Structure 1
């Protein structure tokens, strides 16, 4: 039985998913034993004494992230090697066994306090795969162990916006393959951190499918329900760090939610995409990557394709062995943040007059698309799958970005649109796009105009629009 258009449209985000989407851009901090061994995947037998970030400064991490325009940080509290960046009561393989801070260190707490002080949200990554823990592979015993560690983190460090899982799964030292009890993990999170999204191997946020920043032309948030199990299927999980898993881009997955897809599935869910990518070639710090940090222009491309393509952007920034974000990374991030504020901090459409083709019958006045409020929106009457908006900016402006936003609490509806500007009495084509969703950034040739027009040419039902912004980037 095919999913109807009405069912797809009335599939909407939960309050936690909506809050997550509004965060837009946040950091991954890969830091731990691998930082000091030069590995990406530790073996679980590394000596705790190796961990000695004598200059660790969590406030510097937060300051750099905030300067880049980020809204939160997700910390790798435990990676596959099993070494815990907090003093866990359930293993000796943690900071308790390290001479750093005289065995009383707690990276999670230091970062949590820095985030609270500077107004950033905190999330945690906890690897289910643990190459140190002897019970790994004894599924009931290890699941109990993992839940104990999860509860420690969920109850001792304040509010989390996200719990981030990957599906890496290998054999334990006993030669057995661990079966993760995902449902038990999810229940614990919902009980102790009900506002946190559970990402990637979880029901709230899905992986875009690669770790190189590739984004789809049309990114649907309403997708087949079966997708929520993609990353937790053991047979498909990552079992070795060979450099190929994270680089894959499967072009057969480009269409996840069109009408063609809806006709082939029985159930859909709201399951938005996250793009995770590192500012360096690898996830943990390596000194020989110091001159391979993504440039400001590359960061701009990432931001505009991910956040501007109806996805969240999770950018990894690995602190170095001192325990600080390296100068090269920090410099590029600060410069990117300056660009972000100068570009998107000045909406040329803020005082525009807006005329809709069906204004007299509109459900909400069209002026709401430029009022800067995400809770208000324009929507033509039921039955109008095609609609038209004209903006009068009041005077001619030079611009090269237009940002469109749907009112996603009302579902994802727009399937295709066109942008035009008026030259004399003639309307000139400017841009053609497909889905909009939470945010669509349209990158344009430099254009000078006073009048703009949006033609929504295909929509699932009468469309909504909560934002129409016009901007200029000097780069």
Structure 2
């Protein structure tokens, strides 16, 4: 998504009643409500507790963020510089959301978030919202929607929801509160400046009412949503009403950039390149690798593009990122306890271009071939204190080159450091082990590609060397991949 350039490392800067309010990377000492946590009976430290919704969301691992809107029809990635495209441009004459879903399945996505309204202000569904113009007070409909375009009568949000439900893909909506070029809104506030072509003049109160009415439409008319995207956040005046509306209509939804308005919040990782820090914790509210000592469970989502150069909406003659680069993205997101949300980009016909569909499938095929089936051991051993997990291949040695660990975080993320080592087939001492990987945060998933390369082994061992409570390993597997 085009996080409007100044939002890359600063959520947004607002002017409100003469005060300058900076929404920077939120730090742990900020005066925000505490999360739900427990006290460890073994170490006495605070352990942040997830909601069931957060755990279910983390387990999905792969999702898509669908950038399809009127910005698709201009050579401008997200209506930068207050552009208001003519509504007649929006004409996806071959639109087929089943085509989108097939590409999601080929990639392996478990959930999909569609841009309902981006910075341009164009809404992808009919709206019953009416509002007064300033200063005349004339009442008009919110007529910058799909229902006033060449494909009038087509509710794209409804088509999207039905196609996803048919294939058991969970759904959500992206709606930017802080930008609306059509209504001359930037950083959440109506601007006091000369209107550009296509813009309307309204008051701040009118804009806030429009946002709340449209969110009510989006959160009422399309069933249960898995995730709601607040790209850039929300203004202080809208925080409380949005919080109440979310609790009323979609209390189970995951809220991206939603700390402070939802118990099911997830955080941005701070970059759009598809790289999570290592370590990356499931706790903390900063836009980075998190904080293992935070009492707030707030896992990270890594959003990135298929197209090169941070391009979100489909572009003419845009280069796709290579398969090898996308495989690296997978390892540096999902493999580092982050959800990979890959941009899905229909073109101006309303379909996924064949070259794009092929690349999504190539990435999905790699993930399935590499990690779909682990190398199975003959025997598994777990130490009495649950700090060592050993897999034996003695009578049938195997060649593997990586390990995958998953921590059961039902009672919080407790592991703080681990080591993976192997017993080589040609070793003369059965008690001799060679270290192949080590790390700190595990969380939902940690993938370690061994720097020593493929090894022929009799056994592999995971040792938890630091933990704040008794750990529970959900899965520990080894693999050999091309």
Give the TM interval when normalised to the shorter protein.
0.7 to 0.9
1:453 aligns with 2:461: yes
Alpha-carbon offset, residue 168 of structure 1: 7.0
| 2:438 aligned to which of 408, 421, 432 | 432
- In structure 2, the residue matched to 1:391 is 391
SS of alignment partner, residue 454 of structure 2: strand
Distance 1:346 1:402 in 2: 12
Distance 1:389 1:179 in 2: 49
**1:370 counterpart residue number:** none
Residue of structure 1 equivalent to 2:86: 47
Question: Stretches of 4+ moved more than 6 A in 1?
Answer: 1-5
Describe the shift of the 1:5–1:219 C-alpha distance in structure 2 as closer, same or farther (beyond 3 A): farther
Match of residue 189, structure 1, among 227, 246, 256: 246
Alignment match, 1:328: 355
> What does the per-residue CA deviation read over 1:35-57, in whole Å, with 9 as the maximum and x for residues that have no partner?
10111232353211110111111
Paired residue secondary structure (1:148):
helix
1:466 aligns with 2:474: yes
CA distance in 2, matches of 1:140, 1:22: 40
Instruction: Please tell me whether the aligned partners of residues 38 and 285 of structure 1 are also in contact (alpha carbons under 8 angstroms).
Output: no
Partners of 1:9 and 1:446 lie apart in 2 by 39
Sort the Cα spacing of 1:446 and 1:183 in 2 relative to 1 into closer, same or farther, 3 A: farther
Indicate conservation of the 8 Å contact 1:8/1:268, yes or no: no
CA separation of 1:298/1:145 partners in 2, compared to 1, >3 Å: closer, same or farther? same
Q: Indicate yes or no: 2:229 matched with 1:164.
A: yes
Asked whether 1:130 is paired with 2:180, we answer yes
CA displacement at 1:147 relative to structure 2: 1.1
Q: 2:321 aligns with which of 274, 294, 299?
A: 294
SS in structure 2 opposite 1:287? Answer: coil
User: Does 2:340 match 1:283?
Assistant: no
Match of 1:30 among 51, 61, 67: 67
Query: Aligned match of 1:306 in 333, 340, 354?
Result: 333
Q: What is the CA–CA distance in structure 2 between the aligned matches of 1:87 and 1:455, rounded to whole Å?
A: 56
Q: Between Structure 1 and Structure 2, which shows a larger proportion of helix residues?
A: 1
State whether residues 61 and 324 of structure 1, in contact with CA within 8 Å, keep that contact through their aligned partners in structure 2: yes
Deviates more, 1:36-45 or 1:116-125: 36-45
Flag structure 1 segments of 5+ consecutive residues without an equivalent.
Answer: 170-177, 231-252, 363-379, 381-386
The offset of 1:473, in angstroms, is 1.1
Q: How far, CA to CA, are the matches of 1:212 and 1:5 in structure 2?
A: 36
TM-score by length of 1: 0.80
* CA–CA distance in structure 2, aligned partners of residues 353 and 12 of structure 1: 33
Q: How much does 1:305 deviate? A: 1.5
Change (3 A) 1:145 1:456: same
1:114 corresponds to which residue? 163
Length-normalised TM-score, structure 2 = 0.78
Any conservation in 1 of the 2:229–2:256 contact (CA below 8 Å)? yes
1:251-266 to structure 2, matched below 5 A, reads: 256-258=290-292, 262=293
User: For residues 109 and 45 of structure 2, what CA distance do their matches in structure 1 show?
Assistant: 31
Does residue 1:95 correspond to 2:101, yes or no? no
What is the alpha-carbon distance in structure 1 between the residues aligned to residue 87 and residue 439 of structure 2? 52
Unaligned runs of 5+ in 2: 1-27, 30-36, 130-141, 191-202
Note the aligned Cα RMSD (angstroms): 2.3
Structure 1 pair 29–283 and aligned structure 2 pair: CA distance change class (3 A):
same
Moved more, 39-48 or 11-20: 39-48
| Match in the other structure for 2:409 | 408
SS at match of 1:269: coil
Q: How does 1:75-90 map to 2 (within 5 A)?
A: 75-90=114-129
Match status 1:215 vs 2:252:
no
